[in-house]
């Protein structure tokens, strides 16, 4: 039986356990093995078949800056939300509690992680390694390629309040001809929202493929010259109950499998021969 593809998953050195566990679960369900990567635990890129640049401290609440209780959806809001199922009502509070108890008590900025991930992104793009950026990961992908970020998006929410939620409540529009639309099999979706930064100026070779419907905040980007390189502003790993969101992980793993097979099938470079027609040592 063929070995499962190995997908590297970046995260903070301290904390980030919830994101890691739910990403591990999504990759396991998709048929891949996950390798955790942080500044104290690096993995050579040649040992990976794909890469996920994960979310992190710049947008996620931690124990030094917890999510205010008033921002958590109330029981009445849960009941009013159309399309929510019992599994949503059970999973969202559980995921929130896991994130709360495994969050790092550190400052938001993590320049060492920034530099590590930028190096990984450059190398992955150079090798055409399948890559998925999640929330912070999409933002780092953009800045690595020369783009900029809005540091605080609260001013974009005038007519409607800024939604901070683990539940799929934020509506986005997806470009019909995009790779993302093909992966998700839709041009509209509802996603969760755990960010206070967003893409401002687009980096090189990138295109916007999803935006928030009410204010055009960028929700997804793609690198146009790569077989698979998508960055999403939301957290699909925290939506294990939504099959459409799990397609992102399945598509990444399928592309990693294809690349793994092609690498194995590629003929090894022939060694130069000596005058007797034998390979040189």
Which of 135, 195, 222, 255 is the catalytic position?
135
**Is 70 one of the annotated active-site residues of the chain?**
no
Could you confirm whether 229 is annotated as catalytic? no
Question: Do 71 and 164 touch, CB atoms closer than 8 A?
Answer: yes
Neighbour-count burial of 194, counting CB atoms closer than 10 A to its CB (0-12 exposed, 13-18 middle, 19+ buried): buried
Beta bridge partners of 218: 211
How far is the CA of 105 from the CAs of 56, 184, 208, in angstroms? Answer: 13, 35, 34
Match 């400052």 to its residue by tokens: 107
Active-site residue, 237 included: yes
> Which residue of the set 179, 212, 235, 255 is catalytic?
235
- Beta-carbon contacts of residue 23 (< 8 Å; ≥ 6 apart): 9, 34, 52, 54, 134, 237
Contacts of 253 (CB under 8 A, 6+ apart): 5, 7, 27, 30, 31, 32, 50
Q: Which candidate in 117, 212, 222, 237 is catalytic?
A: 237
Give the catalytic positions in this structure: 135, 235, 237
């Amino acid at each position: 039986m063929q070995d499962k593809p190995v997908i590297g998953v970046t995260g903070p050195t301290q904390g980030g356990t919830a994101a890691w566990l739910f990403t591990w679960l999504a990759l396991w369900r998709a048929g891949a093995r996950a390798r955790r990567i942080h500044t104290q635990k690096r993995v050579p890129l040649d040992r990976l078949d794909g890469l996920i640049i994960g979310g992190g401290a710049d947008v996620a609440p931690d124990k030094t800056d917890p999510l205010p209780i008033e921002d958590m959806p109330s029981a009445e809001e849960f009941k009013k939300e159309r399309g929510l199922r019992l599994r949503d009502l059970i999973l969202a509070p559980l995921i929130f509690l896991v994130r709360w108890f495994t969050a790092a008590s550190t400052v938001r900025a993590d320049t060492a992680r920034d530099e590590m991930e930028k190096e990984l992104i450059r190398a992955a793009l150079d090798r055409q390694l399948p890559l998925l950026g999640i929330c912070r990961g999409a933002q780092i992908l953009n800045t690595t390629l020369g783009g900029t970020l809005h540091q605080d998006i609260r001013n974009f929410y005038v007519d409607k309040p800024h939604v901070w939620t683990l539940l799929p409540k934020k509506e986005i529009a997806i470009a019909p001809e995009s790779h993302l639309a093909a992966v998700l099999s839709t041009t509209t979706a509802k996603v969760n929202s755990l960010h206070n930064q967003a893409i401002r100026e687009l980096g090189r070779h990138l295109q916007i493929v999803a935006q928030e419907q009410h204010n055009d905040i960028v929700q997804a980007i793609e690198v146009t010259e790569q077989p698979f390189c998508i960055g999403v502003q939301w957290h699909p790993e925290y939506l294990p109950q939504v099959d459409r969101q799990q397609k992102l992980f399945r598509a990444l793993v399928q592309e990693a499998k294809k690349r793994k097979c092609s690498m194995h099938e590629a003929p090894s470079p022939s060694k130069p021969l000596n005058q007797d027609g034998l390979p040189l040592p």
